[in-house]
A and B are shown apart, each in its own frame.
Chain A
Amino acid sequence: MPDLKQRGLEVYNWFEARLGLGAPLIEVAEHEVPSNTASWWYVFGSAATVIFVLQIMTGILLALVYAPTASNAWNSLQFLDHNVRLGWFLRAMHGWGSDFMVAIVLIHMVQVFLFGAYKFPRELTWIIGVFLLLLTLGMAFTGQVLRFDQDAYWGLGIGASILSRVPLIGGPLVGLMLGGPIIAGNTLSRFFALHVFVIPGTLIAMVGMHVWMVLRLGINDYPMPGRLVKKSTYQQEYHELEKKTGIPFVPDAAWKDAAFAAAIMLAVIGCALWFGPFGPSGQPDPTIIQTAPKPDYFFLWLYAVLAYLPPSLETPVLFIMPVIGIAALILLPLLSGEGEKHVSRRPAAVLIVTVLAVSLGIFTHLGTYTPWSPIMNAWTSDPIPVSYLHNRTPLEREGALVLQNKQCRNCHSIGGEGGLRGPALDAVAGHMTEDQIIRQVLQGGGNMPAYGNALNPSETTALVKFLTTLRGNELQPAIDASRHVVSASANAPQPTDSQQTKETR
């Protein structure tokens, strides 16, 4: 046994004499870090790197089978799922790995922000980190395109439509993105090149720089309230801290990173086994239009924002907001490179993170059930509750038929079923008079199209008669309170101008 150990050492020495990498690597691994940095808060960066390695490995394995052409990509995914042993598992690992990677990169960023770790002298580490986040999101988007199913096809359409709004160079940008006049083979090929060569290559280089700077500048010391960062004294203070409380990174601090990395990997494996791979949804055939395209989880918030922006604001917001956001992230360490690090003394930082997290959460939640989308088949699939047809005249029942036939249910729910695009109609007569309903139906308004053209007079009458019976729990019908006031004041003197304008408003 000691003989074997001896031989192993000899082999190592043979390589080490030529390569010379072992000693410096061991030195790096064992370098001293302030003991307070051995915290469970500091494990996200290494976890992101571990998942990145997982993504590279599973990605290469998938590329052994995947056919990056528009005509075959979808079929090759089916083949992976059903004909290649454990192909589905690798797809699931890669898909879940990407979700976890985005999540952990985001968590890492929030942690670094709240711990003030971007301040002097680690400004550039943060800036590179911002690019790492953008590249990670780029990987997530291009990866979703490589799935090349219905969602990917129409997702590309959305991407091209967004680009087409760029002033002046919108058209050329669309051409550049699609690689041709339409979404087709060239489009997939260029997203394949981006996802497999360009972005990962850049990512590896930037991760290298990021880690190199962490080693060179030292891990951010755990913030203490009141201990301010000053450019003139910080380095010296840090070195003193390192000397006084230094512990070797490996193993005294790194065991937590290792433990967390293992937990994350187990979580990815668990999700992959339990939930399986993502999609592919329908074939990328544009002639199949019975589809409601939706982006992957991490872009749902964007999808929701696009639905809620008023049309006139959309183009400016689409292009100005990202520029401002990215510029703010990049400038952050340059503008506030000194001062307080501890989160308890930085209320603005906490507020920003909270507001962003809550709004992202809300938009993502909305994106999961898309209340703004009409439900295209509600008019044929969701019946009108029987109780709403009880004791109704034939005309009113006829109106219920009109309501169903004219696809009103695609946007309006009754009895909890139907679209959420417009208001629910269960109690419509409780807050709208018959006149108001007629007007709304025929002329539209708000977010409703006018139906004056799609309804003949008898259909309108029937529909409105039915709607006036919908009063929820038998509320009083809405009445026009102004009517008798007006008729009473019809003979009275005319109101003055100023009063009149006030009323019109």
Chain B
Amino acid sequence: MTPSEQLPPPDQTSTEPQPDSVKDPSIAAGHSRRVFLFKLALAVNGVVGFVLAIPIIGYLLGPALKKTAADNSWINLGPLSDFPEGETRLVNYRNPITTEWDGQTGDIPCWVRRVSGETFQVFAINCAHLGCPVRWFAQSKLFLCPCHGGAYYADGARASGPPERGLFEYTHKISSGALLISAGRMPTLANEAKNVTPLIQIETRIEGSPAARLSATDQPQPRCSSCQT
């Protein structure tokens, strides 16, 4: 440090108020004017902030405010001949709304079940519990979820486990020999919550004498929700 430097000594804080006995009285006179101008400037900033907030909030909430219908469009899953009757198959499609940098995440799988003829059911891959990918087991005619063990029957109805409803289904139609589904948005309870049927807890309540109860249990009647096929 050269001795000519004039700096505050290091241990003295510069925020200490200086005695202002020598202040020019005209400076104090302008104080109220400056307070007013400061408040005015603040008000202008408030207006600017408000004007700026509108596009910013609009930008942020954009993806939240879109309607499901705006995202969905008809997607061709292939000719009917791809789907043998009585079978349930995994089909992939490219989501209608994607970008180049979405990569593989834009490819969405779904389960197509051809019940018979032109009767189809198209299920979302996402478990109705928390969205994990359900897998079809043709031998036991069940969809099983790997996450928490949710199970669904062949028609998508809830069989057991934590899901509180059946599988999500895509709306579908058949046009010029091809199967089309309406998709575009990840199915969740918020956009697919149709009337939830009460939980199917299979409990047999048999009235009558003990003998009647016993004979009723002797002849098991299948009481599942998917017994129409």
Contacts and interface: CB of A to CB of B under 8 A. Distances in A.
A171 B164 contact: no
Interface stretch (A151-159, A247-255, A321-329, A349-357): A151-159
B159 A449 contact: yes
Interface in A436-485: 436, 438-439, 442-454, 480, 482-483, 485
Interface residues of B, number: 88
A184 B186 CA distance: 11
Contacts of B222: 442-443, 450, 452-453
A184 B98 contact: yes
Interface string B35-63: 00000000000000000000000001101
A14 B3 CA distance: 12
Contacts of A443: 202, 204, 220-224
A218 B228 CA distance: 73
Interface stretch (B113-121, B129-137, B173-181): B129-137
B24 interface: no
A436 B214 CA distance: 11
Interface in B181-229: 184-186, 188-191, 199, 201-205, 209-211, 214, 217-218, 220-224, 226-227, 229
Given A10-B1, A373-B146, A164 B190 contact: yes
Contacts of A446: 160
A17 interface: yes
B17 interface: no
B92 A287 contact: yes
A387 interface: no
B146 A374 contact: yes
Contact of A407 (B97, B106, B142, B184): B142
Contact of B140 (A170, A373, A406): A406
Given A181-B185, A311-B199, 9 more contacts: A20-B10, A163-B190, A181-B66, A182-B95, A286-B107, A374-B149, A443-B224, A450-B224, A487-B211
7 contacts: A161-B189, A166-B190, A182-B186, A293-B132, A306-B130, A443-B204, A451-B140
Interface of B: 1, 5, 7-11, 13-14, 60-61, 63-66, 68, 71, 90, 92, 95, 97-109, 125-126, 129-135, 137, 139-142, 144, 146-149, 151, 153-154, 159-164, 184-186, 188-191, 199, 201-205, 209-211, 214, 217-218, 220-224, 226-227, 229
Interface of A: 10, 13-14, 16-18, 20, 22-23, 69-72, 153-154, 157-158, 160-166, 170-176, 178-186, 283-287, 289-293, 303, 306-307, 309, 311-312, 314, 372-374, 376, 379, 405-408, 410-411, 421, 435-436, 438-439, 442-454, 480, 482-483, 485-487, 489-490, 494-495, 503-504
